[in-house]
Chains A and B, each alone.
Chain A
Amino acid sequence: MCTTCGCGNSQTYMNGKAMPSHRHLDKPLRYRPLAQPIHGHTPISVAADHPSRTIHPGTGIAGTHAAGISQARIVKIERDILAKNNQYAAQNRRYLSKHGIFALNLVSSPGSGKTTLLVKTIQMLRDKFPIAVIEGDQQTDRDAARIRATGVPVIQINTGKGCHLDAHMVGRAMQQLPLQHDSLLLIENVGNLVCPSSFDLGEAHKVVILSVTEGEDKPLKYPDMFLASSLMLLNKCDLLPYLTFDIDLALEYAHRIHPELPVIQVSATQGSGMPAWVDWIAAGCRCATAAKPHLQATDPSLD
């Protein structure tokens, strides 16, 4: 479909297994036409219909309806286009908060070092909390294999031609993961600074990763992502001596878009800044545990 980014309505795979589509149709881009009005009656006339949800033609926003277009009516929807995704996200968020799970959605362009950062983070934190990972990529389970080598449970979602994870995919992956109470869930989104910003997954925070091998002006070029994120990690800082990257300029641009955005400078490979990052996560985990409704006893396994 989209030849630039490959975004399309293709089959999604989870750990190599085809995932049933949540769209109510079986073929890509095929919607069941509603051949007949429901109940087989003629459409409800304007006069007979609920006044709160419909208005007479001609008084709608277009204001151009000629008298005599009797069948036409205006149906108010007033709904966010992402309502469906947001419903799934709300479901995920409820589940996560009920069980005291702190979930992070890691977003960046491809090649910023997300997976390396994740592996190091897991190594530093796995003795403190149970950790689970959801990996999103268009193809292959190479990232999941790297995470699996650390010993934590991981689900790979292959979005096929899709350019982002959505809340439904993540909800399905959460069902398949052995999630534990008071744990950490790390979601590595598809490497893309545009689309994932619009799709809430139910996470506590989006964390945007910018690496110093990219341009300082990425925040200006892709503002939505920096606006949607609660923390920015500036990665690969060990390479700064070899680059002309201007940290102050990058931070200035990031703060133009999102003035309060906290930034941690890290090097996933050399370890600098990593303690501050894992402290930030640990604080979030403690908050998630503290905010958990005190309904259940101390059963460590989830239903």
Chain B
Amino acid sequence: MINSEKPMHELSLAENIVQLIEDTALKQSFAQVTTVWLEIGQLACVEQESLRFYFDVVAQDSIARQARLEIIEIAGQALCKQCNQDILIATYHDACPHCGSYALQVTQGDGMRIKELEVK
């Protein structure tokens, strides 16, 4: 099934990314960004395709207008509170593969951040 719906807050996120880039440009004196590396957790509330779409729109008139967006996906990881094992999860409603418990403490993969930029 093709989901043509554009999820919602990715536009705000794209604006935040461009603003962070421009803030950094002022501090670190660069005039053009060629690549932007983002780290997006698998569990983060963000749809990558939608973020790419909005980034292209928002970056158009910024120093990031020619920037390539590289998304590094960070796997979802959790600690099972019942059997105390580190496990990989793809969604918040995954069960522990070892003991079946849903009582998991997410330890990685719920964030989203700009990692670094390649600039000229």
Contact = CB atoms under 8 A, between A and B. Distances in A.
Contacts of B38: 81
Contacts of A83: 16, 20
A7 interface: yes
Given A4-B6, A39-B29, A74-B116, A224 B45 contact: yes
Given A37-B30, A39-B29, A259-B102, A23 B15 contact: yes
A78 B116 contact: yes
B114 A79 contact: yes
Contact of A166 (B5, B12, B24): B12
A164 B70 contact: no
Given A7-B9, A84-B19, A75 B115 contact: no
A62 B118 CA distance: 10
Given A43-B31, A75-B117, A197 B45 contact: yes
Given A57-B118, A61-B115, A77-B114, A85 B16 contact: yes
B26 A38 contact: yes
Interface string B68-109: 001010000000010000000001110100000011000000
Interface residues of B, number: 57
A44 B38 CA distance: 24
Nearest to A223: B92
A78 B114 CA distance: 5
A206 to B, nearest CB: 13
A81 B113 contact: yes
Residue with the highest number of chain B CB atoms closer than 10 Å, among A29, A163, A224: A29
B14 to A, nearest CB: 9
A35 B31 contact: yes
B119 A255 contact: no
Contacts of B93: 219-220, 223, 253, 256-257
A81 B114 contact: yes
Contacts of A249: none
Contacts of B30: 37, 43, 73, 75
Interface string A257-289: 101000000000000000000000000000000
Interface string B1-40: 0000111110111011111111011101111001101100
A43 B34 CA distance: 14
B67 interface: no
A34 B22 contact: yes
B19 to A, nearest CB: 6
B72 to A, nearest CB: 7
A175 to B, nearest CB: 22
Interface in A140-155: none
A8 B31 contact: no
A72 B66 CA distance: 14
B8 A2 contact: yes
A94 to B, nearest CB: 21
Contacts of B57: 1, 29
B116 A29 contact: no
Contact of A163 (B9, B92, B111): B9
Nearest to B14: A81
B108 to A, nearest CB: 14
A65 B34 CA distance: 12
B115 A5 contact: no
Contacts of A255: 102
Interface of A: 1-5, 7-9, 23-24, 29-39, 41, 43-44, 53-54, 57, 60-62, 65, 71-85, 162-164, 166, 192, 194-195, 197-199, 219-220, 223-224, 227, 253, 255-257, 259
12 contacts: A2-B8, A29-B60, A33-B62, A37-B30, A38-B25, A44-B28, A74-B118, A75-B117, A75-B118, A81-B16, A164-B12, A194-B7
